[in-house]
Amino acid sequence: MGSNKMELASEHIDLDSDEESPLTLSQSAGAKQSFQFEASHTILPKSNTHVLRKLQYTALHSLYVVLFKAKINVLLPFGPLAVLLHYLTGRHGWVFFFSLLGITPLAERLGYATEQLACYTGNTVGGLLNATFGNATEMIISIYALKNGMIRVVQQSLLGSILSNMLLVLGCAFFTGGIVHYPKVQRFNQTAAIVSSGLLLMAVMGILFPAVLHFTHTEVHFGKSELALSRFSSCIMLVAYASYLFFQLKSHANLYDSVDEERENNGDDPDEEEVPEITMWEAIAWLTILTLWVSVLSGYLVDAIQGASDSWNMPVSFISVILLPIVGNAAEHASAIMFAMKDKLDITLGVAIGSSTQISMFVIPFCVVVGWIMGQPMDLNFQLFETATLFITVLVVAFMLQEGTSNYFKGVMLILCYLIVAASFFVHVDKSDDE
């Protein structure tokens, strides 16, 4: 019994010796805290210099990635050159040409910065960012032109942007994708394509009725009814676009993810490797800087349109419908072709058709509302020639998309259709100013 008690006591002593008493704990904690305080005191200057070096490195890395890495940035110096020419020579043709060249890389970099920011924000906010910044160039040019009362330039450049996205961008993407993946037939999400086609037809409907009302001379109050109808239709179109965003990003997001999920199940998911190259705040800063510079250049570009038309003997309608949108769509053009070559046609359609949907259902009605606020009579009467062109284009593209497959021949057809449209506007004289 005595020996058992002794063993228990020794075990108890051993357990106590393993566990530190509260006094020793507080002493050791105090010693650690004082040591850490002294250590931090001694290391503080080094850590500050390390942070500064790290900040300098990230800033330099960000500058390199955004301004120097992309080959298209070779065109960036043409922007300041256009501003110089404007003040030194006043030759509108050259100012317009160099402004076009200067804005092209900015449009592409805006698209890049938006993609980088979308990596941090997720799908919903990313979709809204793409809706705003993806067409920022067109919106800025349009608002500047509206300020100057150049309503026809606004209408024609936005119409041209839709035509360019649906025929040229999508056509080039289908063609390159079809050639790279020949003889395989590329597939895309049919449901998403049909929804987008429906929205585009709704946009045609919104633009068609004011034109029909004007040209049949059946307005209740001549000149006023057409404008009132345009403003009402614009508000309806904005509501429809907001509903579409909710449908696409929230309530029926699974319809848009179906093809991607199939690819993930097959083990083919290259998106996992894609990581952002710049931080979120850097992306926001670059978006702000690029948008400001685009807005500055847009002012010079819009001012030079009429002068460029006179010096080049080229119709203003051709410049507005064909040349301006090619610049504004530089980002969409590059990314749509790249994704088609990677066999990611759903993203290609999201870029090309999605951008056309944004312009027709968001940017055009938005410009009507902004014109209303500015006191400019911006309406949805795009004239008969332009409205007919848009209607036929939407029909052609809707037929191309209904199978849910693509090949190089569909791409060739779309590109050739765009060439016919471009030639039509080259010989088209806009009579609206004379009426």
Contacts of 121 (CB under 8 A, 6+ apart): 129, 280
What is the distance of C-alpha 412 from the center of its chain?
25
Nearest-angstrom CA–CA distance, 375 and 396: 36
The pLDDT of 411-421, averaged and rounded, is 95
Per residue in 145-166, pLDDT tens?
898 888 988 999 899 999 999 9
Q: Is the pLDDT of residue 8 over 50?
A: no
- The set of residues, in sequence order, having a beta carbon less than 8 Å from that of 214 and lying 6+ positions away, is 226, 381
pLDDT of residue 104: 84
Helical ranges in 313-383 per DSSP H = 316-318, 324-328, 330-341, 345-358, 364-374
How confident is the model at residue 229, as a pLDDT? 93
Lowest mean pLDDT among 256-260, 269-273, 390-394, 401-405: 269-273
User: What is the arithmetic mean of pLDDT over 5-15?
Assistant: 45
For the cut 50, the answer to whether the pLDDT of residue 131 exceeds it is yes
Summarize the confidence of residues 397-425 as an average pLDDT.
Answer: 92
Q: Which phi and psi angles does 122 have, rounded to 5°?
A: 90, 180
* Residue 352, pLDDT above cutoff 90: no
Q: CA 367 to CA 351: how far, in whole Å? A: 21
pLDDT tens per residue, range 250-265: 787 777 664 545 555 5
Distance of alpha carbon 351 from alpha carbon 196, whole angstroms? 12
Exposed e or buried b for every residue in 155-172, given b needs 16+ CB within 10 A? bbbbbbbbbbbbbbbbbb
Query: Given this model, what pLDDT does residue 396 score?
Result: 94
Report the SS3 class of residue 279.
coil
CA-to-CA dists, residue 396 to 18, 137, 369, angstroms: 83, 27, 30
Mean pLDDT computed over 381-409: 92
Q: 18-27, 130-139, 208-217: lowest mean pLDDT where?
A: 18-27
How far is 127 from 118, CA to CA, in rounded Å? Answer: 8
pLDDT exceeds 70 at position 65: yes
User: Rounded distance, CA 366 to CA 240, Å?
Assistant: 13
Confidence class of residue 33 from pLDDT cuts 50, 70 and 90? very low
Tokens of 407: 């090949």
- Which range is least confidently modeled, 44-58, 115-129, 198-212, 299-313? 44-58
Specify the range with the lowest mean pLDDT, choosing from 35-39, 196-200, 229-233, 284-288. 35-39
Res. 200 pLDDT band, cuts 50 70 90: very high
| Ranges of H-type helices in 247-279 | 253-265
Residue 19 has what pLDDT? Answer: 42
CA atoms within 13 A on the CB side of 19: 7
Determine the pLDDT at residue 51: 55
Give the whole-angstrom CA distance, residue 120 versus residue 107: 21
Paired tokens of 218:
């059946």
Q: What is the mean pLDDT of residues 115-132?
A: 68
Give exposure, 298-313, as e/b (b: 16+ Cβ within 10 Å).
Answer: bbbbbbbbebbbeeee
Distances (CA, A) of 267 to 258, 261, 272, 348, 402: 15, 10, 11, 21, 28
Residue percentage of the chain with pLDDT more than 70? 79
Convert the pLDDT of each residue in 285-331 to its tens digit: 888 888 888 888 888 888 888 888 888 888 888 988 988 888 777 76
- The reported pTM is 0.76
Q: Is the separation of the CB atoms in 287 and 133 below 8 Å?
A: yes
Lowest mean pLDDT across 83-97, 113-127, 209-223? 113-127
Mean pLDDT of 343-367: 87
C-alpha triplet 188, 135, 213: angle, nearest 5°: 90
